[in-house]
Structure 1
Amino acid sequence: MKILVAGSTGNTGQRLVHELKERGHDPVAMVRDNSDTSGLPEGVEQRIDDLADLSDSVVDGCEVVIFAAGSGGDTSAEMTDKIDRDGAKALIDQSVAKGVRRFVMLSSIGAGDPDPDSDLAHYLQAKHEADEHLMKTDLEYAILRPVALTDDGPTGEIRLGDNVDPKGEAARGDVAKVLADAAESPDWVGKVLAMETIS
């Protein structure tokens, strides 16, 4: 499948692009004009675009879109809204308009019911609004809400669902594999699942 990855040069996105390629898919890396693309697999198609100002052709020809982008923990509330809320919504809307079949969202634990007293309240609210926007479309959707991310590789030891420890950790390597699963498997359609690494 041709699968667009938004956030392809991030810590999780790079792992995801490699994972998709290893599984025999045709990943398309959405990159900003000044992005460091040295961590992407050789020969992977790149489309220059920006979630803060999305073009109307970035999803063309793709069956699946995976949103693995993020504004980052130290950015302003304005940038969080631009990327994590408005950028995600714009990519969702374009996916609907261009006939994309499935949209996989990398969200966050707590986005289902954001705690206004949390240090991450604004970020979680932005993620919440993007998730809700996706669920109201006719796209096949899957939403993954991992706990705090680490830069560890895949362990294969994960827990999904309601029994996840919200104060646990999730290895980015495991997150990348689960996102790839969500892009492929019919079992993921319509699912919103929390995730942690348990090893």
Structure 2
Amino acid sequence: MRLILVGPPGAGKGTQATRLVAEHGIPQLSTGDMLRAAVAAGTPIGLEAKAVMDAGGLVSDEIVVGIIRDRIAEPDAQKGFILDGFPRTLAQAEALREMLAGKGIGLDAVIELRVDQSKLVSRIMNRAEETKAAGLPVRKDDDPEVFKQRLEAYNQDTAAVIPYYESNGLLTVIDGMQSIDAVTAAIADVLSKLDESVEVR
């Protein structure tokens, strides 16, 4: 089961990915975590990434896709994986598709958690106010201005991959404004249909 979870910051992707990992025993792959692990392990692609970062450059799509390629070859990803935070652009989506095709595999589904962004901003602002009122430090990600910037970046870049996956017939949209349990149930319904289609083949 090879999945991508898509949605703006605060949509609940992390919560749902954690539940999917527990339910299906497949790893959640965060590009940031994989990059750090590859650098720490000193793999060939990790050393390449380290050289770029040490020089103050941005790690290329080619390097990131190489890190994903190495990671999904590991034993715990043989039953599948959940990609989180990648692809962020159309170029990355194409590079991912080509890399997977080279391995003779493809994605099973792309699940978008669609949310009302104006309500999302209100929710984050309320959470920040409640945190402050409790005398606790506000997480950087919960700072309303930081959150708005992340939302803007999502709408500029990542949102462009949604029509791409829709045109490929891989996209399923789920209402992310439902309760956490309702979203989990909706995702389970999508995945059960995938299982049925595999059995029919």
Please, what TM-score do these two structures have when normalized by structure 2? 0.43
Q: Which has the higher helix share?
A: 2
- Structure number with greater CO (CA < 8 Å, separation at least 6) is 2
For the pair shown, the structure with the greater C-alpha radius of gyration is 2
